[in-house]
Structure 1
Amino acid sequence: MVSLRQLEYLVAVADHGSFTRAAEQLHVTQPALSHQMRILERLSGGPLVERLPRSVRLTPAGRAMLPHARAALADAYRARCAARQVSGLDQGELRLAAVYSVGLGVLPPVLRRWRQRHHDVQISLSEHRHTEELVATMTEGGADLAVGPSPRRWSGPVWMLGDEEFVVVLPPDDPAGADGARRVDLAELADRTWVHYASGNGLAEVVDQACGEAGFRPAAAVRTEQTAAAPVLASAGLGPALVPANMVPPAFDGLVLRPDPPVRRSLTAYTRPDPDPLTEAFVEMLIETACVLPETLRDRLGLDNGFGHLGSPGRPLEAVTPRDPSPPTATR
């Protein structure tokens, strides 16, 4: 069945004449948009878009569908407006809690898009160092939704979002990047002193475990409370740092390598039982929009273009029963 989201993609491609510009306008990744357009073409029985060297244009079938797509989106908008007046999605407050890497690296594009659609909803965001702090905030009623590593024995619904990829950051001229290397075995860095995290930061456990699985305990040259400081300190030459990939700034001149084997941790969103419509609406947008790996890093790490998107557009909410989460692991 054709979804409204797919029709929105068709209209954006027609209006902008480019998959890239359409994806930027909709705040989604270009591979995700292309994937959904291929599905729409399959459902429609043939090509809707002709791909040219520098642009795209609609085929006759695409031009025939376009006015109906615009009408369907307009009808859906009017229906949403009517429902929001009853359900309260046009006003109120949404209280979010997240670990630092998610609050800085994953949520901003989602929040930007949310504000575009729900500009009268007030948002508060509290950021935390550790999963236990997130759970405590939720248990005490301090937030409506938490986003971070999977909680232990949570009684409310939990949505599995995807895996957060970790990368090793080094100075741009570090020998580990010789000959265009994109990967590094952590064991090769065992004799280095590291940029580490303060003991209260949950990422300290990630580093210790990943290095432990590589056969050593990392010696710290410096420990930081600030997650965003780690890649900057590592690039300046204070030592290697293992950081969430979404924390690497877009214009970053440090050396970024993927650990071999990869280091990942699962990300989830969770609420108390029976979340209100406002919270459920945000979870749906989070699944639809968020990306855990910046596109700027995909080529540098040698990953395919589809990697790192939390969900696929239009994916329905799927609450799961949480189990005791496995700690972040190096996947061999």
Structure 2
Amino acid sequence: MTSLRQLEYLVTVVDEGSFTRAAELLHVTQPALSHQIRVLEKDSGGALLERLPRAVRLTPMGRAMLPHARAALADAERARCAARQASGLETGELELATLYSVSLGVLPAVLRAWRRRCEGVHIRLFEHRHTDELHAAMLAGQADLAIGPPPPDWQGPLWTLGTEEFVVIDPEAPPGATRVELVTLATRSWVHYAPGHGLADVLDQACAAAGFRPSAAVRTEQTAAAPILAAAGLGPTLVPNNILPPSFDGPVLRPDPPVTRPLAAYTRSAPDPLTSAFVETLLAEKSVV
């Protein structure tokens, strides 16, 4: 029967890319590690790893098993944490998966409120560029709770947080302007996002709805850099309104029609007490969305 220890061995070998390094990290001998991997492969019905001269790689069976192995290990760790924390929320660690833009705009106020409530509980953030990456990471067991656009057909618990509003930063906006039709910016070069960045999709889709494809003056990997580059005169950009600091003095325009994105929190299964407490804090602070 497959054990958690064998799954841990498999994940460590894959992450380290080497039986030798994995054995050192796990504090076991390499023969013992290799034996347990062979037992796991026998129980699984075939090879999970291809042994190369200087590396290892997953077989198709191994690639199919790996996300489930990670999820099983993460669930076991959460079970241990839940048992230790059954008497209260004084200590522990909560793992959150989210998008870069959400960690800039939504989470600071929530984490401040959480810190006041549970000072001894540490937060570990896993930040992703794209909604699809966030969804896949959550399915693979990366974190206790995900915060971002709700994935379609999610089977686990999900809490609706609200709607995120996007604004245009345009250094050439007329004085006193508060709104803009995106089609009027069709001939401009934009401060855009790098391919694979989730906000690149949001910007492209908003412009497509207005009837044009935006050209890029510059593309950035950093969400926080977009409004700064736009305010410096490099072109208009589209950003979540909640990432702008109070001190931001660039021209901020609301698109007409509005550009929005729903946000939610979601878990794979019923949350433990610690995760439930964070969700309560998140819902109480969702006015930041």
Matches within 5 A, 1:28-47: none
Q: Distance in 2 between matches of 1:272 and 1:227?
A: 28
Q: Distance in 2 between matches of 1:258 and 1:141?
A: 37
Aligned-pair CA distance for 1:253? 1.7
Aligned-pair CA distance for 1:122? 1.5
Which of 196, 204, 207 pairs up with 1:208?
Answer: 204
Aligned-pair CA distance for 1:117? 1.3
Aligned-pair CA distance for 1:85? 6.9
Indicate the SS of the match to 1:286.
helix
2:85–2:92 CA contact under 8 A, matched in 1: no
Aligned-pair CA distance for 1:87? 4.2
2:15 alignment partner in structure 1: none
Q: Deviations over 1:228-255 (max 9, x none)?
A: 1000000001110011001112111210
Indicate the SS of the match to 1:191.
coil
Matches within 5 A, 1:119-138: 119-138=119-138
Which of 215, 239, 244 pairs up with 1:219?
Answer: 215
Moved >3 Å (runs of 4+): 84-88
The alignment status of 1:168 with 2:168, answered yes or no, reads: yes
Q: Distance in 2 between matches of 1:86 and 1:287?
A: 23
Amino acid at match of 1:119: E
2:273 alignment partner in structure 1: 277
1:315 alignment partner in structure 2: none
1:87–1:277 CA contact under 8 A, matched in 2: no
User: Structure 1 residues 144, 86: CA separation in 2 closer, same or farther (over 3 Å shift)?
Assistant: closer
Indicate the SS of the match to 1:177.
coil
Which of 252, 255, 259 pairs up with 1:259?
Answer: 255
Amino acid at match of 1:242: L
1:188 alignment partner in structure 2: 184
Aligned-pair CA distance for 1:92? 1.4
Unaligned runs of 5+ in 1: 1-83, 293-309, 311-332
1:147 alignment partner in structure 2: 147
Q: Distance in 2 between matches of 1:198 and 1:87?
A: 46
Indicate the SS of the match to 2:195.
coil
Q: Distance in 2 between matches of 1:192 and 1:206?
A: 17
Matches within 5 A, 1:66-81: none
Aligned-pair CA distance for 1:88? 3.6
Aligned residues: 206
1:107–1:290 CA contact under 8 A, matched in 2: no
Aligned-pair CA distance for 1:112? 1.1
Q: Which has the larger radius of gyration?
A: 2
The alignment status of 1:241 with 2:253, answered yes or no, reads: no
2:38 alignment partner in structure 1: none
Q: Distance in 2 between matches of 1:135 and 1:203?
A: 16
Q: Distance in 1 between matches of 2:248 and 2:108?
A: 18
Q: CA RMSD in A?
A: 1.4
Q: Distance in 2 between matches of 1:253 and 1:273?
A: 43
Q: Distance in 2 between matches of 1:122 and 1:211?
A: 40
Q: Deviations over 1:148-172 (max 9, x none)?
A: 011122221111111000000022x
Indicate the SS of the match to 2:264.
strand
After TM superposition, the score normalised by the length of structure 2 is 0.69
User: Structure 1 residues 250, 200: CA separation in 2 closer, same or farther (over 3 Å shift)?
Assistant: same
Amino acid at match of 1:100: Y
Which of 220, 227, 239 pairs up with 1:231?
Answer: 227
2:96–2:144 CA contact under 8 A, matched in 1: yes
Amino acid at match of 1:163: T
Q: Distance in 2 between matches of 1:252 and 1:122?
A: 30
Indicate the SS of the match to 2:166.
strand
Matches within 5 A, 1:283-294: 283-292=279-288
1:193–1:220 CA contact under 8 A, matched in 2: yes
2:104 alignment partner in structure 1: 104
Amino acid at match of 2:168: V
Indicate the SS of the match to 1:227.
coil
The alignment status of 1:177 with 2:174, answered yes or no, reads: yes
1:8 alignment partner in structure 2: none
1:13 alignment partner in structure 2: none
